[in-house]
Amino acid sequence: MNQKTFIGVVNPVKDKMYRLALRLLISKDSAEDATQEVLLKLWSRKDKIKDYANIEAFAMTVTKNYCLDQLKSKQNNNLKIVHTNYESQDRSAFDQLETNDRLKQISLILETLPEQQKLIFQLRDIEEYEYEEISKVMDMNETAIRVSLSRARKKIRIELLKKDSYGIT
């Protein structure tokens, strides 16, 4: 595989890899580094890439594993999935404040979830992957993914309802 072919194969996936790395590593610099490292790993295996049925799933799996390795090596102390960079300029200050507050609440709740549920929630509800793609990335059964996602959503819903109904009798 030559460089032009490799770029054609990897370029459509590069942004998704960066977003996943950013979600896991928080820091933009760390996410950029992780994306570059994964691209280098893919380049070193360029002759074997064509053997994979779903190159995107393979690239996302490599990215996920690399980021988790980085987190385990204590180079990054925090794990945060929800970002506050989804703001539109058309909203009022109150709406922006309310949205930021809700995102912070969800972020805190997500930190209490098991690692697997965080990643599945990230891939399905934020990155909008299909269950089949998540199954390949996480190397899990689709039914197990649905159950894990359901439990994560339920936990988030229950915790948000607790916060919203605090002090109301």
CATH classification of the domain holding 143: 1.10.10.10
CATH classification of the domain holding 40: 1.10.1740.10
- Report which of 7, 4, 116 is spatially closest to residue 55, judged by C-alpha positions: 7
Which of 72, 105, 120 is where one domain is finished? Answer: 72
Cα gap 71→34, rounded to integer Å: 11
Cα gap 96→154, rounded to integer Å: 25
- Residue 114 tokens read as 């098991």
Residue 94: its pLDDT value, please?
A: 79
Residue 120 has pLDDT above 90, yes or no: yes
- Report which of 107, 10, 25 is spatially closest to residue 60, judged by C-alpha positions: 10
Angle of helix 55-72 relative to helix 131-138, nearest 10 degrees, comes to 50
* Total domains, the chain: 2
pLDDT tens digits, 11-28: 888 999 999 888 888 888
Helices (H), the chain: 3-25, 28-44, 46-49, 55-72, 93-112, 115-121, 131-138, 142-164
Same domain (yes/no): 7, 53: yes
Q: Which of 74-83, 101-110, 125-134, 138-147 has the lowest mean pLDDT?
A: 74-83
Residue 106 placed within a domain: yes
Residue 79: its pLDDT value, please?
A: 44
Q: Which tops the pLDDT comparison, 49 or 83? A: 49
pLDDT tens digits, 54-112: 888 888 999 999 988 888 875 444 444 444 454 445 667 777 888 888 888 988 998 89
Residue 150 has pLDDT above 90, yes or no: yes
Q: What is the domain range of residue 139?
A: 93-164
Q: For the chain, what is the mean pLDDT?
A: 83
Same domain (yes/no): 97, 159: yes
Same domain (yes/no): 159, 125: yes
Check if the beta carbon of residue 106 is closer than 8 Å to that of residue 82.
yes
